[in-house]
Amino acid sequence: MKRYLTVFRASMQINLAYRAHFLFLLLGNAVFIVVTWFLWKSIYAGREILNGMSFERTFTYLSLAMSVFVLLQTWVEWGMSQRIISGDIVIDLLRPLDYMGLMVSDILGFVAGNFLAIALPSFLIVVFAFGMPVPLGLNLPLCLVSLALSFIINFSIDFLVGNLGFYTESTWGISITKEVIVLSLSGALVPLQFYPEAIRRALEWLPFQAIYSAPINILTDGGMGIGAMLKTLGAQAAWAAVLVLAARAAFARASRAVTVNGG
């Protein structure tokens, strides 16, 4: 465990070394929140409710979804396939660490910095600067649990996709394809309530909605009882377990097929 903690600390330090980067990330996110406010104000055009969602709820949902997006955008599949293609993956495989564990600790260092610099300030901006009503209670700790599960689901999908680096050299192509699929099927850009009924039904059977909708709904949906929250967490946990196992199986299989230049 100590070895993984060292990796975590080092990655957090590397990430925090570039202060200006964080400043721009934070400012940028604040601008996106403002743009979202204007755009959706215009979409609502004075209507109280659209698809069962009030403007306040939609705006809060989208602003937080944007922060979760930045939080979870960790380029796992990008880094993995780059190292597979260059052959550097061999060094990682030789380390006395579990490869997935190594990646998780490395990425968590990155995510921890992003959480402090992006997610938390964005949440504060939405609640205090825009005065959005967010119920405070048991939903706060449960949202953090849900966010952790979102991280595991998102990480496992990235890790699963990163394995494709063993079979193809197309890092960018795979990465963007995955991003588009995750973003459009998870409701990160437009709340799922806006999707046509049939599409929404189908999406409920896929893991992507568990990444964005789950933690944000737990946080912002005041009408959600404790039972419903636990049910959401249960579904997330089930997806997380399935995807972690799938990612491990894929890696075990693919890394046996590793061919490295001159290796």
Partner 1 sequence: MKTLAYYTRIYFLIVSQYLKARMQYKADFWISSIGMVLQCLMGYFTLWILFHSIPALAGWRYEELVFLYAFSLLAISPASIVFDNVWSLRFHIQSGAFIRYYFKPLNMMFYYMSEMINIKALTQLAFALVILATSSISLGVRWDLPTVLALLGLLVSASLIMVGLLVLSSSAAFWIVNSYSLLNFFVRMRDYARYPMTVFTGFFRIVFTFVIPIGFVAFFPSQAILRPAEAGWEVWLTPLFGAGLFALSYLVWDRGTKAWSGTGS
Instruction: Write the DSSP string, the chain.
Output: -HHHHHHHHHHHHHHHT-HHHHHHHHHHHHHHHHHHHHHHHHHHTT-SEETTEEHHHHHHHHHHHHHHHHHH---HHHHHHHHHHHSTHHHHHHSSS-HHHHHHHHHHHHHHHHIIIIIHHHHHIIIIIS------STHHHHHHHHHHHHHHHHHHHHHHHHGGGGT---HHHHHHHHHHHHHHHHTSSS-GGGS-HHHHHHHTTSTTHHHHHHHHHHHH-TT--HHHHHHHHHHHHHHHHHHHHHHHHHHHHHHHT---TT-
Smallest gap, in angstroms, from Cβ of residue 183 to partner 1? 7
Of 45 and 91, which has the nearer Cβ to partner 1?
45
Q: Which residue, 6 or 168, has its beta carbon nearer to partner 1?
A: 168
Mask: binding to partner 1, 160-199, rule CB under 8 A, as x and -? --------xxx-xxxxxx--xx-xx----xx---xxx---
Round to whole Å and give the CA distance between 207 and 232: 12
Please report, as residue ranges, which positions from 204 to 243 form the binding site for partner 1 (by CB under 8 A): none
Q: How far is the CB of 182 from partner 1 (least distance, A)?
A: 11
> How many residues sit in the footprint of partner 1 (CB under 8 A)?
38
Task: Name which of residues 91 to 120 contact partner 1 (CB under 8 A).
Answer: none
Closest approach of partner 1 to the CB of residue 29, in Å: 9
Q: Least distance to partner 1 from the beta carbon of 230, Å?
A: 30
CB of 38 to partner 1, least distance (A): 5
Interface mask (CB under 8 A) for partner 1, residues 5-44, using x and -? Answer: -------------x-xxx-xx-xx--xx-xx--xx-xxx-
Nearer Cβ to partner 1 (146/208): 208
Closest contact distance (angstroms) between CB of 172 and partner 1 is: 6
Exposed, middle or buried by CB within 10 Å (0-12, 13-18, 19+), for 146?
Answer: buried
Residue from 218, 244, 217, 78 nearest 153 by CA: 244
Which CB atom, from 54 or from 184, has the smaller least distance to partner 1? 184
Binding mask 51-90 for partner 1 (x = CB under 8 A): x---------------------------------------
Contact residues for partner 1 (CB under 8 A)?
18, 20-22, 24-25, 27-28, 31-32, 34-35, 38-39, 41-43, 45, 50-51, 168-170, 172-177, 180-181, 183-184, 189-190, 194-196
